[in-house]
Structures are given as structure tokens and as C-alpha cells.
């Protein structure tokens, strides 16, 4: 059916666009003094505000759909956090002027589902919190999962250029399973552009994209994998699912999210949006053993270890290098 999930796609894109506008407003207020004090309240305000707006849009359009998201309002409702809640509501009102504190908290808590459903959304309201604070890369990631398959994805990257030919910041990436992936200007001014992964067939010439934070992925293992593949260029390091977007539009060829400890499992909201965008752009995403990622186990990828993202053409050789490096 050519129009299947058309409404879901439209709602998802507009929801992450609204959330991105809120996040930009909060980020504009981050001063050097805030950073010097290591004050994380701006990202907390943006995180809650982003989730409130996206979950409001999902509930209005699809009231029966559960949402597995990262936050809940319990902390905001505490008396000592009244000022923080007021800041969240102030930013939400810039988009939804009639919002009040109770509504904002209810919208946030609409993301409180934790069990698997045959149809549900998963949301990361701000992926890349340290990148947000540094005014670098962060993302708002939203995906619809039906019968265990990712069907719709919308990924807003407010500080990423909107096309390979433009330095203007702000892009939304979207995909519907079986219909390809696209990039849109975040302000909606330009038409969408189809995106494709690179056709690089030589691992030694591949461009690596890696996490900034070593706590998110094993940098030592990544360096050994690069050595195994003959890659000598320094990796491009950035925060958030913006790395998926960079692979999807052919600006990088490999993104590794390697396990940092034996008991860690990835959260579904950290990957679902990016996975569909890369695969619909022609790439391949598996875990470190080459298994597809399973989204049937609630908030975590409990059946998988790590995540390997490539342009597809070099995936098997990357997996072989991962195994040779001792990543399990």
C-alpha cells in the first residue's frame, strides 16, 4: 500500500521538528558561565520539554499507541524541583501556549510504557546530552515499531547541515520501511532530498564515525578494528544518532557501538530511529555477531551485543575485523 504509514510519518516529522525548536531555544541560553559550573539543568529542561511535545503529538494522533521513552515526570513533580518544572513548562508554552504544569507532566508520562506491544513508539527526547551542552551534535529520535519491525523513523539533528551541499544547520532525517530515506531542512523551507549510503567497497578507504565519549563505545577496540581493516585516517567523532545520519547520507562508511562491559545492553531509543534511516538508505545494521537488532524485548536490546553500522558493501569484512579484535 503506497500510503501506508503516511500519517504516522507526517506526525513523527512534525513532532521532532517541534521538539527541535524547543531544544534550540534552551540551547541558545547556555552561557560559558553555565558550562563552567557544570550545570546540566539546560539539558534536563530540554530533555523533558522535548519529550512532552513529542508525546503530546503522538497521543493526540494515535491515542492507543504506547510510547517507550527515556524520561518520566517523577523528579519534576518533587517540591524541590518546582523551579525546574516551571522552566520546562515555560519552554513548552512557547510551542503550545495553553500548556500547564499538569498537562506537561502527563505528556511526559505518556512515554512511560515499558513492555513490548505489537505496535508502539520509542523516543529519545535528547540523544547526546554532552553534545547538547557543548553546542555540538545531538538528536531527537522517534521510531514506530510494529510486530517487532521498525516501520517509521524521524531523526532531528538540529546542529547538522541539512544536505551534503549546504552548511546550513538543521536537518530532519526520515524513513518508512520499503520506501527509502530522506533528509529535510529542519525549518521546512526546502524539499526533501533522498539520501543514500556510500558505495565505498574498500574497508581501508572507509571513513569511521565514532562516539565522542569512550564510555559509550570501546575506543580501544575501535582502534584495533581500524588496524585490522587497514584504516589509517582518524575517526570522525560526534555525539548522538547524528552518526547514523552521517552514514546514511554517505559521509561516513562505518559506525561502531562496541560493548564497554559484559552486562550492558543498548537501549532501543538510542538506535531504532537511526537503524531504519541507515537501512532504507541502503546500509546494513547488525550487532557484533552479525545478528539483526531485535525490538521485541521492551526498552533494551536484550538479544543483542553492541551495534555495527556500515554502508553494506563492507559489512562482512567489518564483522570479521570485530571478531578478530576479540569483541564479543
Query: Which are the catalytic amino acids?
Result: 47, 129
Separation between Cα atoms, residue 1 and residue 75, nearest integer Å: 44
DSSP one-letter string for 127-162: E-HHHHHTTS--EEEEEEEETTEEEEEEEEEEEEEE
Q: How many residues does the chain have?
A: 328
Contact 142, 19 (CB under 8 A): no
Separation between Cα atoms, residue 138 and residue 277, nearest integer Å: 16
DSSP one-letter string for 6-20: HHHHHHHHHHHHHHH
Between vectors from CA 90 to CA 86 and to CA 95, what angle results, nearest 5°?
145
Amino acid at each position: 500500500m503506497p500510503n501506508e504509514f503516511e500519517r504516522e510519518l507526517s506526525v513523527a516529522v512534525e513532532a521532532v521538528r517541534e521538539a527541535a525548536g524547543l531544544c534550540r531555544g534552551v540551547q541558545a541560553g547556555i552561557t560559558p558561565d553555565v558550562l563552567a559550573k557544570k550545570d546540566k539543568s539546560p539539558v534536563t529542561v530540554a530533555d523533558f520539554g522535548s519529550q512532552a511535545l513529542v508525546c503530546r503529538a503522538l497521543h493526540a494522533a494515535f491515542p492507543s499507541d504506547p510510547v517507550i521513552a527515556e524520561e518520566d515526570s517523577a523528579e519534576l513533580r518533587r517540591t524541590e524541583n518546582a523551579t525546574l518544572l516551571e522552566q520546562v513548562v515555560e519552554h513548552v508554552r512557547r510551542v503550545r501556549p495553553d500548556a500547564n504544569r499538569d498537562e506537561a507532566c502527563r505528556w511526559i508520562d505518556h512515554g512511560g510504557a515499558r513492555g513490548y506491544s505489537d505496535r508502539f513508539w520509542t523516543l529519545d527526547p535528547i540523544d547526546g546530552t554532552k553534545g547538547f551542552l557543548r553546542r555540538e551534535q545531538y538528536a531527537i529520535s522517534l521510531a514506530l515499531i510494529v510486530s517487532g519491525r521498525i516501520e517509521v523513523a524521524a531523526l532531528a539533528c538540529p546542529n547538522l547541515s541539512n544536505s551534503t551541499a549546504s552548511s546550513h544547520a538543521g536537518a530532519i532525517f526520515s524513513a518508512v520501511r520499503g520506501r527509502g530515506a530522506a533528509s529535510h531542512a529542519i525549518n521546512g523551507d526546502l524539499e526533501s532530498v533522498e539520501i543514500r549510503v556510500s558505495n565505498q567497497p574498500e574497508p581501508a578507504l572507509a571513513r569511521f564515525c565514532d562516539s565522542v565519549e569512550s564510555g559509550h563505545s570501546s575506543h580501544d577496540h575501535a582502534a584495533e578494528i581500524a588496524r585490522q581493516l587497514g584504516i589509517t585516517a582518524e575517526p570522525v567523532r560526534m555525539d548522538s544518532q547524528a552518526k547514523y545520519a552521517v552514514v546514511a547520507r554517505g559521509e561516513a562508511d562505518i559506525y561502531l557501538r562496541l560493548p564497554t562491559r559484559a552486562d550492558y545492553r543498548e537501549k532501543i531509543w538510542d538506535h531504532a530511529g537511526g537503524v531504519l534511516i541507515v537501512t532504507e538508505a541502503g546500509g546494513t545494521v547488525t550487532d557484533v555477531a552479525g545478528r539483526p537488532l531485535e525490538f521485541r524485548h521492551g526498552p533494551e536490546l536484550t538479544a543483542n551485543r553492541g551495534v555495527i553500522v556500515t554502508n553494506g558493501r563492507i559489512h562482512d569484512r567489518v564483522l570479521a575485523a570485530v571478531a578478530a579484535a576479540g569483541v564479543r
